Amino acid sequence: MPDEAMKAKILLLGDGGVGKTSLIRRFVVDQFSDDYITTIGTKVTKKDVIVGRPPNTVDVIMQIWDVLGQKGYGGVQETAVKGAQGVLFVHDLTREDSRRSMEEYWMPMVWRLVGRVPMVIVGNKVDLLEDERVAAHEYTYYLHEKYDAPAVMTSAKTGVNVESSFRTLGELMVEAAGIPIERIALVTPPQEPVDRLIRVADKIMTDFCYQLGSVEAGMPVVKRQFERAGVDVRAPTLSSLQKAIEYLGVVEKDFKTESEIAENWRRRVGWLEGREAV
């Protein structure tokens, strides 16, 4: 168990097509997909990273914001930037314009809105480089010196340096937060008493989304399966939630192992039957 935990809002910023969504997917679910899905607005994914060495470790609960990179969405982008505690500035190593834009558009935007928060400069798609690899490496080093920030070459496709980029950012944020002096309480404040089965339903929904990697991806599935199971979210019954748990387990066959599914099922039934606190 880590000694400390901190929540951190981190952002991936850079032009459209540089690989932000792919980097997040690689980091969070360790997958790469070739189909280009344009990010609509913003998308938030959660992932815990343990940084530091025992016995001084910190659990950094990253809220990773994928922000659409298309120009003209300044409103969405600026809203997303507010409150950012760390940024991965991403450019495509095969597209000089994306590097310029990172330096001339994205970096100034962040500095204007939230100041000089911890940052890592990411040159993505290193797998596509051949002869230019050495020059790209030198340029990456130059960016590191220029901005006094870690600069790395990554590939969401092969996975190289992806995890370490996020981890490095996590370490910088922990340092910036002044931990261990600063402790961030993770306990939720006392709440109004809520019907136990509502709390269970809520717990199952968030658990499923968490397991899937995101609320945006998970919620539509939850909604469909809860409807099929006949769960009335205002007054869920034991039997309808039982069904919902079964249905969600079936859906998970597409992306979880047998043992993970069994483990999820046990945990959720435990909440439902009151054997585990919700």
Q: Please report, for residues 9, 182, 228, the alpha-carbon distance to residue 187 in angstroms, rounded to integers and kept in the order given.
A: 18, 15, 33
> Which residue number, 43 or 99, has a Cβ lying nearer to Mg ion?
43
Phi–psi pair at 178, nearest 5 degrees: 70, 20
User: Which element (helix H / strand E) includes 92?
Assistant: strand 86-92
Considering the complex, what minimum distance in angstroms separates the CB of residue 169 from ligand G3D?
Answer: 17
Considering the complex, what minimum distance in angstroms separates the CB of residue 109 from ligand G3D?
Answer: 16
Q: Which of 61, 55, 123 is nearest to 88 (CA)?
A: 123
- Interaction between residue 161 and ligand G3D (CB under 6 A): no
**Interacting partner of 47 out of Mg ion, ligand G3D, none (Cβ under 5 to 8 A depending on kind):** none
Q: How many residues bind ligand G3D (CB under 6 A)?
A: 19
Q: Contacting ligand G3D (CB under 6 A), which of 28, 39, 79, 278? A: 39
> Which residue number, 77 or 155, has a Cβ lying nearer to ligand G3D?
155
Site for Mg ion in 175-234 (CB under 5 A): none
Q: Contacting Mg ion (CB under 5 A), which of 28, 32, 39, 176? A: 39
Considering the complex, what minimum distance in angstroms separates the CB of residue 221 from Mg ion?
Answer: 21
Work out the burial of residue 148: count CB atoms within 10 Å of its CB; fewer than 13 is exposed, 13-18 middle, 19 or more buried.
Answer: exposed
The residues, any chain, with a CB within 8 Å of residue 76's CB and separated by 6 or more, are: 41, 42, 67, 68
**Interacting span for ligand G3D (CB under 6 A) from 1-9, 35-43, 207-215, 263-271:** 35-43
Written as six digits, the tokens of 61 are: 């609960």
Considering the complex, what minimum distance in angstroms separates the CB of residue 200 from ligand G3D?
Answer: 36
- Interaction between residue 19 and ligand G3D (CB under 6 A): yes
CA pair distance 17, 263, nearest whole angstrom: 37
Q: Contacting ligand G3D (CB under 6 A), which of 9, 47, 99, 157? A: 157
**Interacting span for ligand G3D (CB under 6 A) from 14-22, 164-172, 237-245, 260-268:** 14-22
In sequence order, which ranges of the chain are alpha helices (DSSP H)?
Answer: 20-29, 74-81, 96-101, 107-114, 133-147, 162-176, 196-212, 215-228, 238-252, 258-272
Radius of gyration (C-alpha) of the chain in whole angstroms: 21
Considering the complex, what minimum distance in angstroms separates the CB of residue 202 from ligand G3D?
Answer: 31
CA pair distance 184, 97, nearest whole angstrom: 40
Which residues here bind ligand G3D, judged by CB under 6 A? Answer: 16-22, 34-36, 39, 69, 124-125, 127-128, 155-157
